[in-house]
Structure 1
Amino acid sequence: MTETTRSLHGRCTAQAMLPSPFGPLLWARTASGIAGMWFDAQKWFPTAFDAPERPGDPLIQEAATQLDDYFGGRRRVFDLPLDLHGTPFQKAVWAALLRIEPGRTCTYGDIAVAVGSPQGVRAVGMAVGRNPVGIIVPCHRVIGRDGTLTGYAGGLDRKQALLRLEGVLHPQQESLL
C-alpha cells in the first residue's frame, strides 16, 4: 500500500470500476474531489477502499465523461476538482505534471528542475510513477532524457497510445519500445 492509498482509506466517499478504451478504471473520490483513477491491475493499484461502490456518483460520472471526451478527441484539458493525497514532494511533482500542456512532453529532469530538486531525477520518477490520477494528471507526457518512453504504471503500451492520441509520439519513440 502506498502513502496515497493509505491516506485515502476512510476519506473516500465513493468508488466505481468503469470501462475505458484502455481497460477498466477504478475511480475514487473524496468530499473534495477525484482522488484516484487507476487502470485495473496497474502498478500501485490500491487495495479495496472502504467506500461505497457508486458508479452513478455525479463527480465520478463527470470525470468519466470528460475522459471519454478526451479519448474521442473532443477534449484536451480536464476541468475537475482533484484531491491528491501524497507526500509534499509528490504533490509538487503532480502539480508540475498538471502544467505540461496537451500535445507536449518533458523529461524527468525538467520536472526535477521545476520542483526545485535538479539532482532528484530518480525521486521525481518515483513520484511520477505513483501519480494517483493518471491521464488527468498527465504523467504519460514525461519521457526519458534521450526521448525514450520510460516507465508508466499503467503500461508502456498505454503510454504510447496516449501520446499517439495527443499527436506527440515520434516514429523513433515507437521503435524504442
Structure 2
Amino acid sequence: MNIKYNQLCIRNAEKKDCEQLAVWWNDGTVMAHAGFPNGLGTSAAEIEKQIADDSDETRRRLIIEYNDVRIGEMSFYVFENHRYEIGIKICESDYQEKGIGRIVLSMLIEELFRMGANVIFLDTNLKNTRAQHVYEKLGFRKTAVHYNSWKNQLGEMESSVDYELTADEFCNLK
C-alpha cells in the first residue's frame, strides 16, 4: 500500500521502520490508550519478524508520513466476510490534534473499501473521547460499550467501545 494525499503518505511498514516502531511501542505515553502504560517491551528484531509475514490478504502494518517524516502508524487485519479491523496511532505528539488522524483514516478507509471491505470495525478505550469524536464524524456507528471489561498492564480495569462502518455510512473527510 502506498497512498498519498497532499503532504501525507500511508505506506507499508518495512525493515527500515522497525527501530522507530520499537521506540513508539515501548513508549508508555504512546501505548497507554491500548493498555500498555509501560510500553510493550518489544525489540526491532521482533517487529521485523512480524512485518515479514504481513500481506494485504491477512494483516498489514502501515507507516504514516507527513512531509516524509514518520509520525505514526496504522494497521488493518482481514477477517471472514470481508470484515477489516483497523487501528491508528499518531505517535509524534507535535502532529496530534491537527486533523491528521481524520485525514489518514479517510485515506485508509477509502482504500480498504476499494480493496473489497464490506465492513470496517475498530475499538478504542472509552476514555479516548478525541478518537471517538473522529470515528463518529467519519460515519462509524457505536455497536457496543464494554465497561470494566479488561485490565491494563498495571492491573487497572478499563472500558472500551466498539465501532463499525459500511461504505454507505462512510463520510470521507479528506
For the superposition of Structure 1 and Structure 2, which TM-score range results when normalised by the shorter chain?
under 0.3
TM-score (norm 2): 0.26
- TM-score, structure 1 normalization: 0.26
